[in-house]
Amino acid sequence: MNIIVKEDYEQMSKFAADHIANVVRNKPNCVIGFATGSTPIGTYRELIRIHREGLDFSNVIAFNLDEYYGISIDLSKPYSLDQSYMRFMYEELFNHINIKEENIHIPNGLTKEPEKFCEDYEKAIKDAGGIDLQILGIGGDGHWAFNEPGSALDSRTRLEKLNDQTLEDNYEAFFKEAGFRREDMPQYAITMGVGTILESRSVMMLASGAKKADIIKKALEGPVTTEATASAIQIYKGEALVVLDKDAASMLSNVASIKGA
């Protein structure tokens, strides 16, 4: 595992975007797993800038980690009225780069057959040759995607019930500002499993801010546990890169010796 600590969110985002850009340059038809949430927004804005300077996404294949289940998806609506991760990805990245529509895969939060959809999503990843780089965040309780505490480390893409902390965190970060009542939030999500993520050839986990410092320490230095599914990065067998700002890294042991600190 390679841990990089940057001075602030802006520098962290630039480093992460440069890493993704290098993956695309080295393998123009690479398969990238994309994450949502507030943390990768800066990275995606940097990627848009790099694209405008010439980076070609036309052969890149994208798979999104997750999507709320049962939420309305209407790309003609303003973002504030549609909190789907589909809209997030188009708004924050896909509308601004030359990725092909047929190469974009996002879980269908309105599917009537979630179990079959999840099986098909796993097959689509395999048919694409597997994920070359999976971008990850980390939840306040240490979850990856919507793999809530207790999720098996060999879990696959599935429908997952969201726990109270996730609902509260996401309500305060996104739904409240958009005018949703908390009880109107979706209670379930379709998510790649931890086992699905661990099959990626490389992963890059991003975290910023002092609020993430404690859970970053637990995920990177504590025991590997299903109670913090991001701790599975410690047993990951591919190339693992963790990119933090100084605040998120502040509780790690020997921070001064970590690359980029």
Residue 48, phi then psi, degrees to nearest 5: -60, -45
Closest CA to 64 of 118, 135, 13: 135
Taking the C-alpha atoms of residue 118 and residue 1, their distance in angstroms, rounded to an integer, is 29
Q: Is 72 helix (H, G, I), strand (E, B) or coil?
A: coil
Residue-by-residue DSSP string for 56-67? --TT-EEEESEE
CB 154 within 8 A of CB 229: no
Residue of 46, 51, 66, 160 with catalytic role: 66
CB 247 within 8 A of CB 217: no
Residue of 46, 141, 199, 247 with catalytic role: 141
CB 131 within 8 A of CB 65: no
CB 191 within 8 A of CB 109: no
- Does 19 participate in catalysis according to the annotation? no
How long is the chain? 261
Query: Where does residue 54 fall: left (phi above 0), alpha (psi -120 to 50 degrees), or beta otherwise?
Result: left
Residue of 51, 82, 143, 245 with catalytic role: 143
- Does 148 participate in catalysis according to the annotation? yes
Residue of 148, 160, 245, 247 with catalytic role: 148
Kindly list the catalytic residues: 66, 141, 143, 148
